Amino acid sequence: MASAAQPETDGHVFAPSGALTIARAGSTQRELDATPDPLTIDLARVERIDTVGAWLIHRSVRDRGAAVTGASADVGKLLEQVAEADRAVDTKRPKKTSAVGELGGWVIASGRTFTGLLGFFGATLIGFASVLTHPKRFRYNAVVQQFDVVGVRALGIIGLMSFLIGIVIGQQGAVQLQQFGAEVYTINLIGRITVRELGPLMTAIMVAGRSGSAFAAQIGTMKITEEVDAMRTIGVPPVEALVVPRILSTILIMPLLAFWAMLTAIVGGGVFCWIGLDIPPLTYIQRISEVVPATDLWVGLIKAPVFGFIIALAGCFQGMLVANDAEQVGLKTTAAVVQSIFLVIVLDAVFAVFFSSIGWI
């Protein structure tokens, strides 16, 4: 075999023989440098060549304008591939966008998301109608399981959060009211703001962060593992199997969670009033019953199921948007929490205006 033969240099012709591989890269480069221009590279006697050898030949052609002769079909193809890889890649610079352009893009994306949410809302209503007309398709076990996940397991964190909020409201309110000698009205502040506003609102925010994100992550993972597609294949509507039980359980459990939050916030405020303002618990309870009208309780309990519906709808909607990419699960889970909290706050403002207009102040 001639694989170890030395190259022949005749004038301006470089004619290697045998194997032109990485093992001979150093000597080959020195011999190429020693051959004067104009350079002709004769590859007729090359039996084997690898990418490194092809790169040395290509670099001589590129930098010195060398001519290549005698290359076999395989060698010529490798030289073409190396030359193709050496071409500069045109990279497009990101377009500069102005603040107005970014705002417009955000508005367009928000409009598309809102439109998609409305379409998903319609699909959910169809799913509820289908379950009502075919009661045997209603999944009781799934609803009970979501009761446990959304409601029972959230009692501890919601109760602790509301208890502390009651203490904070009492402390901050008392500091301001003491300037006017009206500490007793701290009870009014605690009772009305927790029952009417903070009870349902803080519960909704906690459920959005805890359960809304879980809905998006669970359904999104099922999309990636193609379980949702499998449901469609066997004739099980995903909306009926996945969305309806989650939305129904959240709607039913939210008033109970909101009422629990109201009670614990009032208890927290009562503990502060007892310790910080020397107001006996019996006096505190009597005063709460006098200053908190029944309309405040109804306002809070009416808001809660609506908030629950929005949270579950946004979570399931974002979960259904997950594509075949694990990164999408995290993105859509974050979007579900942000979207649901935003919609809850907007609806709370709408409720405030509505109840004020009908005299429930």
Report residue 199 CA to chain centroid gap. 27
Strand boundaries in the chain, DSSP class E: 8-10, 13-15, 18-20, 40-42, 46-49, 67-69
Q: Top-level CATH class of 8-85?
A: alpha beta
Question: What is the band of 101 on the pLDDT scale with cuts at 50, 70, 90?
Answer: confident
Query: Which pLDDT value is given to residue 6?
Result: 46
DSSP string over 230-288: HHHHTT--HIIIIIHHHHHHHHHHHHHHHHHHHHHHHHHHHHHHHHHS---HHHHHHHH
**Residue ranges covered by each domain of the chain:** 8-85, 121-357
C-alpha distance across the termini of the chain, in Å: 101
* Among the ranges given (104-118, 151-165, 262-276, 304-318), the one the predictor scored with the smallest mean pLDDT: 104-118
- Say yes or no to pLDDT of 339 above 90: yes
- Say yes or no to pLDDT of 43 above 70: yes
> What are the tens digits of pLDDT across the range 53-62?
778 887 778 7
Q: Please tell me the distance from the alpha carbon of residue 298 to that of residue 278, in angstroms, as a whole number.
A: 31
Q: What is the dihedral angle through the alpha carbons of 34, 38, 43, 49, rounded to the nearest 10 degrees?
A: 60
Mean pLDDT of 326-330: 87
Query: Which pLDDT value is given to residue 3?
Result: 41
The residue type of 55 is: W
**Is the Cβ–Cβ distance between 120 and 320 less than 8 Å?**
yes
Mean pLDDT of 190-194: 93
Shortest CA distance to 149 belongs to which of 202, 201, 213? 213
- Say yes or no to pLDDT of 9 above 60: no
> What are the tens digits of pLDDT across the range 222-245?
999 889 989 989 988 999 999 999
Q: Which residues pair with 20 in a beta bridge?
A: 49
- Say yes or no to pLDDT of 92 above 70: no
